Amino acid sequence: MTRIRAPRLIRLCAAFAAAALLASCGSGGSADTPSGSPPPDVPLSVAIPGEAVVKVQANASAIALLEERAAPIAQPVPVRRFLRLGPDGSELGSYSAPAGWSLIDCALHASGEASLVIATDRDVKIVRVDARARSIAETQVFDNLAATDPFYDTGGTHDDTSLLTYYTRDAVRIAAVGEEVALALRTGRNAVVAYRFGYAPASAYVALWRSLVEPGVSLFPIGLTAGTFDVFGALQNHWHVLLDADASGAMAVAVLSNPGVAPVFPAHADHFHEPIAAATGVLVTRIGPDGRRLGTTVVDTSRPAELHGLRLQADEVDVVGRVFSERRADGTGWNAYLARIDRAGGELRAYRVLDVDRADVLFDIAPLPQGRFLAAGAAGYTQNPDGASIPEAMDALVAILESDGTLRQRIALAAGPRQTQVRSIAAHGAGWIAGGLTNAPGTHTGDADPSAISADGFVREVAIP
C-alpha cells in the first residue's frame, strides 16, 4: 500500500482512514488481504486547509502545487505559496515570496527543481528552487524595450516605467522548456511580451530573446457595486496573460479582448496589419523556438467571455474559459467553452459552447487517447445576469469531452461545503490528479464578516473510465 505521510498541512483522505479502520477490526487485527498478496493502492488525496490549489503539475519524481489564500477584493495582490510534494503526496518543502514581492506562477522541471516567477508592481524575478523548494538561484528580468513598445492610448491606465502592469501583479506566466523557461507578461504599457531564458547553475537565467505578442493598449479596471469576493477572478481576467510551451521551446500565448475594457482586437489589427471582424473573444499567438511569431488565431466568442486555460498540444492549441452566452433571469446564462486551434497553420478547428449543468466554467484541459479530452472546472452555479454576484453553491466539474468538444461523460468528484472547483489537472503515473478548492466563498459571503472569505485546497486522484 502506498503510504501517505501527514505533515502539518496535509491530512489523510477519509477513504484511507476508513480502510485502516476496517483492517484493524478484522479477525485478530489482521487485514483480509491473503498472505503474500500486496494490498490495493490507496488513491492519492491531499487536503490543504486554508489554501486553495490553483495549479498542479507532476512528473515521475514530484508533484508541485501553487496555492493561494482567498482574499477580499480590497486586497488585489495575490498571496500564494509553492508546495513541493513527493510522488506519494508527502510534503517535501515550500516557498513563499519575500516581503514586498508576490509569488505568481511556477513551472516544474523534469529534474525535480522548479522555476518560480515573483513580482512587485514594477519588477519581475525568476527564482530557481531545488527538490525541497529551497531557493538556489534568482535573476531579475530587465527589458529596455518595454517602454518603447507601440501603445494605443484610449485613456486607460498604464505606467511606462514598470515591467509589469501596476493594476494587477497577476499578469505574468512561466513555463518549463526542459530545464530552461519561457515567460510571458503584460508590461506597464499593457503590451504582451514573450521571452525565452536559458539556465545554467553558474549564471542562473540568461535572456535569449524577446518577442512582442500584442502592442500596448489602454486597459480599464472593473469593480463591483456590492460584494467583497471575486469568485473567478473575473474583475481582473482581461488583464491576464496565459502561456504554454513545449520541450522544443515553441510557445503559445493567449489574451482576451473586450471592447469595453480591453480593446486588444483593433490594436492588434492595426499593428500587425491583420484585419479582425470579431468584436470580442480571444487571441492565440504561436511562437517558434527562435522567438519568431508564427501567427495569431482569433476565437470569436460573440459575447463577453473570460479566458482561464491554455494547453499547447502536439498538433494543436486548446483554450478554455466561460462565455456569457445568454441573459437568463435565473442567472444560468454563463456556459463553458472550448476552442481548438491547428498548431501548424493556425486554423480554428472547433469552437464549442458547453452547457453541462446550469452555469459552467472550464479552467483546464488535457488530451486523452482517441482524440478525446479531460476537462476541469465548476458547474451548477448561478450569477446575477446584470452583474458579477455568484452564490456559495457550486459543484466540481471533471468531464471527458469528445474530439469536437461535446460532452461524453461527467466524472464524479466528492463535493465539500460551499463551492467546490477544480482549477488544474495533471498526468500522474498511469492516471490523473486534480487540484482545486472547496469550502470556498461566494461574492457576498464576507460582506459582514471578512474572516468568512477562506477556502480549502485539495489534490485528488481522478479515476478515468
pLDDT at 8 over 50: no
Which residues have C-beta within 8 Å of that of residue 99, sequence separation ≥ 6? none
- CB-side neighbour CA atoms (13 Å) of 146: 27
Mean pLDDT of 161-177: 94
pLDDT at 31 over 70: no
Predicted model pTM: 0.91
- Exposure class string for 24-63: b at 16+ Cβ within 10 A, else e: eeeeeeeeeeeeeeeeeebbbbbbbeebbbbbbbbbeebb
Q: What band does 22 get if pLDDT is binned at 50, 70 and 90?
A: very low
Mean pLDDT of 376-386: 96
pLDDT at 277 over 50: yes
pLDDT one-digit tens code per residue, 64-73: 999 999 999 9
> What pLDDT sits at residue 38?
45
Average pLDDT, the chain: 91
Which of 137, 54, 47, 129 lies closest to 96, judged by CA? 129
pLDDT one-digit tens code per residue, 224-237: 889 999 999 999 99
> What pLDDT sits at residue 157?
79
| Range name among 37-41, 120-124, 249-253 with the lowest pLDDT average | 37-41
Q: What band does 303 get if pLDDT is binned at 50, 70 and 90?
A: very high
Percent of the chain with pLDDT over 70: 91
Grid coordinates given for 185: 507578461
Phi, psi of 411 (to 5 degrees): -105, 130
pLDDT at 14 over 80: no
> What pLDDT sits at residue 444?
97
pLDDT at 377 over 90: yes
Q: What is the CA angle 162-245-363, rounded to 5? A: 85
Q: What is the CA angle 308-226-354, rounded to 5? A: 30
Percent of the chain with pLDDT over 90: 83
> What pLDDT sits at residue 41?
67
Top CATH class of 51-462 equals mainly beta
Q: What band does 213 get if pLDDT is binned at 50, 70 and 90?
A: very high
Mean pLDDT of 51-70: 96
pLDDT one-digit tens code per residue, 245-258: 999 999 999 999 99
pLDDT at 208 over 90: yes
pLDDT one-digit tens code per residue, 134-152: 999 999 999 999 999 999 9
pLDDT at 21 over 60: no
pLDDT at 259 over 70: yes
Which residues have C-beta within 8 Å of that of residue 376, sequence separation ≥ 6? 362, 363, 364, 365, 397, 398, 399, 422, 423, 424, 425, 434, 436
> What pLDDT sits at residue 365?
98
pLDDT at 318 over 60: yes
Grid coordinates given for 152: 494605443
pLDDT at 20 over 70: no
Cα gap 366→232, rounded to integer Å: 20
pLDDT at 296 over 50: yes
pLDDT one-digit tens code per residue, 401-450: 999 999 999 999 888 899 999 999 999 988 999 999 999 999 999 999 99
> What pLDDT sits at residue 30?
36
Which residues have C-beta within 8 Å of that of residue 413, sequence separation ≥ 6? 396, 398, 420, 422, 434, 460, 462
Mean pLDDT of 373-380: 98
| Residue extents of the structural domains in the chain | 51-462
